[in-house]
Amino acid sequence: MIKLLRTLWTGRRPSLALAALALAVGTRANDPVVHASRPAPARQPVTFVFTSDVHYGLNRSYFRGAVNVEARVVNAAMVRKINALPAATLPADGGCRSGQPVGPIAFVVVTGDITNRQELYPLHIQSAAVSWDQFETGFIRLLALRDAAGKATPLLLVPGNHDVSNAIGSPSRLVPATDATAMVEIYNRMMHPAVPRTKDTYHYATDKISYSLDLAGAHLVFLTMWPDRVARAWIERDLQGVPAATPVFLFCHDQPDIEAKHLTNPNGDHGINSHDRFENLVADSCADGSTIKADTLVEQRALAAFLKAHRNIVGYFHGNANWQEFYTWKGPDADLALNVFRVDSPIKGRESGKNESRLSFQVVTYDVAARTLTARECRWNSLGAADRDAAPVGWGASRTVSLAPREQ
C-alpha cells in the first residue's frame, strides 16, 4: 500500500521535497492507493541528520578565531560538514551500522528556531524575513546531499518558539511587531496547500504544521512546537491503520517536560502581554498556576497518558534546550520510559557555546528489521586543523535503543 502525506486537512499535497521522498519510500495519505501486486520494498537501514535552533539573526560569541560571528557564517560551515558526511565512517561503537561508511542520507530535519526572535532589546535583532532569506541562501540552497536513490535529500522542518513568536507577537517588544515569514515558508514547503499562505493570510491557530511519512518500516511524525491536545488528536487520527508494532518517532521543538511560558496564558483575556509573559505557543492553557514559574505537571501527565496508549512511539526528537543529550523521559510520575534525543544548537549551545569543539548535530541510523536505532553525536568543528572544513568529523556520545513497543 503506497500512502501519501497525511495532514490535518484533506486533499493537500506534500511539498516538493516530501513528494520526492514519497515517490522513493511511500508516505501516508487520507485516501491510500492499493497496489496489491507490488512487492513491499526491502527495509534497509536508514540514516538521517538531526539539528535544531540555528537562530539566524543571532551572533555566536566566538568561532574559528573570530568573535561575534553571524549565524549565517556558522551554519554555512555546519552545512558544509553535513554535505561531507557520506564519505565519513561511523564509529565502531557496536551500534547500528557500526564502523561502516555513513553513506546516503535519507533526510535532514531541523526542529525549529530557524529565525531568532526579532527583539528590539537588548540588541535589535533582524526581522524574520531577513533571517529566513539567510537560511534559504546558506542552508537550503547549500545542502547538497543525496539519498539512496540518488535524489536530492529532503529537508524536513518544524517551527520553534522564536519562529512562532515572530508570527503572533511576544511579551517582549518585537520590531516589526509581527512577521510571519518563517511560519509561512515552513507551512507552504511542508504542507503544500492548494492555496499557499502569505504573511497576510497565515493564521497560527488554524495553520498548524503537522505531517507524517512512512520510511523503511518506521512512521515519522512532525509537529508544531509540542504534542498538545490539538496535536495529540491529530496524531490519534494519523496513527489509525498504523500497526501497533510499527515504530513511531516524534519530531518537534519542545522537550516533553514543556516550559510553562510556552503554554497559553490562563489569566484575564488569555492574551500575550508583558505582565503575564506567557507566549501562547501551544493550545494547552497553563493549569498548574498563574505565572510562568508554574510547574507543568498537568500538561505532562496528559502527554504521558497519551504515550502510554501508544507504546510504539519509541523516539522523541527535540531542540529548544540547546545541548546534546540522549535520555529517558520517565514522565512526571516516573511510570514511563520514552527514548528522547535532545540536540545541540550551533549558536546557543549551553556547552558548545563555551567550547566550540563540542559543536554537534546528530547522525541517526535505524534498522527496523533488526529493531534497533543508534543516535550518534557528530562533532563537526574539529580543532587543531589548518582547514576545519576539510578536517574529518569527530564522534562523541552514542545511544542504541530498541524499536520494539515500549513496556512503559
Cβ neighbours of 25 (radius 10 Å): 21
**Model-level pTM greater than 0.85?**
yes
Residue pointed to by grid coordinates 574529518: 392
**pLDDT per position as a tens digit, 138-187:** 999 999 999 999 999 999 999 999 999 999 999 999 999 999 999 999 99
Confidence of residue 292 (pLDDT cuts 50, 70, 90): very high
16-258+296-402 — its CATH code? 3.60.21.10
Q: How far apart are CA 225 and CA 168, in angstroms?
A: 14
Residue 76 C-alpha from the chain's centroid? 19
- pLDDT number for residue 294: 98
Q: Average pLDDT, stretch 104-114?
A: 98
What's the maximum distance between 2 C-alpha atoms anywhere in the chain?
Answer: 63
- pLDDT number for residue 385: 63
Question: Does residue 278 or residue 16 have the better pLDDT?
Answer: 278
- pLDDT number for residue 29: 36
Pick from 136, 143, 76: nearest CA to 108? 143
Half-sphere CA count of 357, side-chain side, radius 13 A: 7
Q: Is the pLDDT of residue 13 over 70?
A: no
- pLDDT number for residue 36: 30
Q: Which amino acid does the sequence have at 113?
A: D
Q: How far apart are CA 268 and CA 282, in angstroms?
A: 17
Q: How far apart are CA 55 and CA 349, in angstroms?
A: 11
Q: Mean pLDDT of all residues in the chain?
A: 90
Lowest mean pLDDT, pick from 66-80, 110-124, 166-180, 193-207: 110-124
What is each CA distance from 141 to 99, 134, 316, in whole angstroms?
Answer: 30, 10, 28
Could you tell me what percent of the chain has a pLDDT over 70? 89
- pLDDT number for residue 287: 98
Sheet of 394-402: strand order equals: 155-158, 107-111, 46-51, 360-367, 372-379, 394-402
Question: Does residue 32 or residue 400 have the better pLDDT?
Answer: 400
Q: Is the pLDDT of residue 244 over 80?
A: yes
**pLDDT per position as a tens digit, 385-396:** 667 788 899 999
Q: Is the pLDDT of residue 34 over 70?
A: no
**pLDDT per position as a tens digit, 192-222:** 999 999 999 999 999 999 999 999 999 999 9
Residue 131 near residue 186, CB atoms below 8 Å: no
Confidence of residue 33 (pLDDT cuts 50, 70, 90): very low
- pLDDT number for residue 372: 98
Question: Does residue 2 or residue 73 have the better pLDDT?
Answer: 73
Q: Is the pLDDT of residue 378 over 80?
A: yes
- pLDDT number for residue 388: 78
- pLDDT number for residue 20: 45
- pLDDT number for residue 387: 77
**pLDDT per position as a tens digit, 342-363:** 999 999 999 999 999 999 999 9
Confidence of residue 55 (pLDDT cuts 50, 70, 90): very high
